[in-house]
Structure 1
């Protein structure tokens, strides 16, 4: 099943993977049992989908990716808290007996086999790894998290020299599909005038916002020179879920990163 999942139901990051590091982002299908607006491979438990079906999708994901540990799922709150994930989690036997999900929007691990997971449907999943693959991180970066410093918090928690890091920006809403108001623009430009290059005026008081460009800027401000990805648009690409396109019934993709061993 590993080959089937990786070939047909996931996107493999286009970055020079450090030794022993694996990563993927799920796509909407063809695996999975979700129906209707959630079809097919919805991984999000809080999107309104049948929780038993979502659990089955998560089990298919874990089995298909040959994970030796259940992923560390987070209760994402658009904040900057970083979760230190050390434990190898057993697979839950039933959908209604899951592991606790900490309130956090980023996670790091140094433990082989521990799987970090980020859910998204327009916000950016951002993966970070040391060049030797000894430590990895995953962050959920919508505009609020980016503005408040979730990437900076994740990098600080790694406790390594940022020049020794690689980053990959996963599927998120593209600039052509994402119009924001003055409040969102000010959250970035008031703190860093260079952020203005990520906004392009559309009509009075509104701009197209390039989230990936903002993420690149912040990563490089931290000293991460090698940044990959960021060339996706969840809104216009039917392979992905998009909250802005599909509304409250949108499912969620999962972006995973783990160290083999």
Structure 2
């Protein structure tokens, strides 16, 4: 039951690790995932890891003893699975129009502000014009309340980010932030214009998604990508 009901994939949530392994095994079997996904220890960093040269492992779903700290992974190796875990932060999946490079990025507001999407796109051999991005389930602008400090951090990087913030409490300087809009701005600035998704709300769609802001202690969803 809640807070970990319905296929929690996150091993750092306080949930029973055996249950998480079983959930991962169920996902692997149902979706016929070709190799063990490369699970990251996500720290809201801007580290994008190239996992192309890492040997494929048989998909078991077992919780690895060690993982690498990073918030995105990229590969040009067939059947190598890039994956990120989220519960309000934005998962962004990338592929090329030729289908020979893929990546998955975990874009919370800190990582998004500091450049995780930019670092991920840098890993690609293909030019940005040949990259497709999908913005997965994240908290929407209707529910993501932040302080003026967050707004100012984004505006220091890109002045155009100001249009992604709506003032809702002048006395306390509170804003609603549109992470999807900011992600689109950042991607388009790099030349990535084939952008899809971005129409979810993890906070309000309770029957579909985990939400850290809604429940505090909760599970994590997995967003993954690979090519054959």
Deviations 1:194-251 (A, max 9, x none): 111110000021110000101000000110011111010000001100000011x210
Q: Distance in 2 between matches of 1:68 and 1:149?
A: 30
Pair 1:142 & 2:108 matched: yes
Structure-2 residue corresponding to 1:77: 43
Q: Shift in Å at residue 252 of structure 1?
A: 0.4
Please give the TM-score of this superposition, normalised by the length of structure 2.
Answer: 0.95
Pair 1:241 & 2:194 matched: no
Q: Distance in 2 between matches of 1:234 and 1:124?
A: 10
1:218 to 183, 186, 193: 186
Structure-2 residue corresponding to 1:11: none
Q: Shift in Å at residue 104 of structure 1?
A: 0.3
Report the CA distance shift for 1:94/1:62 in structure 2 as closer, same or farther (over 3 A). closer
Q: Distance in 2 between matches of 1:233 and 1:132?
A: 30
Please give the TM-score of this superposition, normalised by the length of structure 1.
Answer: 0.83
Is the Cα–Cα contact under 8 Å of residues 109 and 136 in structure 1 kept in the other structure?
yes
Q: Distance in 1 between matches of 2:61 and 2:154?
A: 44
Deviations 1:100-152 (A, max 9, x none): 31100010011111111100000000011110001001100010001110000
Q: Shift in Å at residue 85 of structure 1?
A: 1.4
SS in 1 for 2:68: coil
Considering only aligned residues, what root-mean-square deviation do their CA atoms show, in Å? 1.2
Q: Shift in Å at residue 157 of structure 1?
A: 1.1
Residue segments in structure 1 that go unaligned for 5+ positions in a row: 1-34
1:62 to 23, 28, 32: 28
Structure-2 residue corresponding to 1:26: none
Pair 1:187 & 2:148 matched: no
SS in 2 for 1:57: helix
Q: Distance in 2 between matches of 1:104 and 1:189?
A: 25
Report the CA distance shift for 1:181/1:94 in structure 2 as closer, same or farther (over 3 A). closer
Q: Distance in 2 between matches of 1:155 and 1:94?
A: 30
Q: How many residues align?
A: 223
Runs of 4+ in 1 over 4 A off after TM superposition: 92-95
Q: Distance in 2 between matches of 1:82 and 1:36?
A: 32
Q: Distance in 2 between matches of 1:119 and 1:209?
A: 21
Is the Cα–Cα contact under 8 Å of residues 77 and 103 in structure 1 kept in the other structure?
yes
Pair 1:115 & 2:81 matched: yes
Q: Shift in Å at residue 93 of structure 1?
A: 7.8
Structure-2 residue corresponding to 1:177: 143
Report the CA distance shift for 1:175/1:112 in structure 2 as closer, same or farther (over 3 A). same
